[in-house]
Amino acid sequence: MTATTREAAPIELTDGELELRVQAIGGGMSVGYIRVPAGTDLGPALKGLPDDLCQCPHWGFVTKGRLRMRTTEGTEEYQAGDAYYWAPGHAPEALEDTEFMEFSPTEEFHKVLEHIKGNAG
């Protein structure tokens, strides 16, 4: 069994107040601790992926704030206290300063992260 905390998980991506910490936890899964300031739109960082959307599934929980999730079917909003499943094909936008924790398949998540880092450079 593997366990971690936000503070123990290594920082994978940071930009101002945006922070992503990721730790592999076994079973081919990773946990991500994400903090995004209000107004952050990850859509531009996903350009070049199929439909310009994240192609990794995520299961998680919003601990603070509010997000809008864009998909090919439309948009949905999530707020503190919501548990979620985001299927492949989504792009988040922070409507408020937001924090969430999610579980994702490690290999798929790292492919998306490498793409985001490539778009940031």
Q: Note the pLDDT tens digit of each residue in 34-91.
A: 999 999 999 999 999 999 999 999 999 999 999 999 999 999 999 999 999 999 999 9
Q: Locate tokens 């792009």: which residue?
A: 91
Decide if 86 is inside a domain.
Answer: yes
pLDDT category at 105 given cuts 50, 70, 90 is very high
Residue 5 lies in a domain: no
How many structural domains compose the chain? 1
What's the pLDDT score for residue 1?
Answer: 54
| Kind and range of the H or E run holding 114 | helix 106-120
What is the overall mean pLDDT for the chain?
95
Q: State the pLDDT at residue 44.
A: 95
> 74 lies in which domain range?
11-120
Q: Provide φ and ψ at 57, rounded to 5°.
A: -75, 150
Q: Which two tokens stand for residue 82?
A: 């919501």
**Dihedrals φ, ψ of 51, to 5°?**
60, 15
The answer to the question of residue 1 being in a domain is no
Give the C-alpha distances (Å, rounded to integers) separating 16 from 46, 94, 103: 19, 14, 24
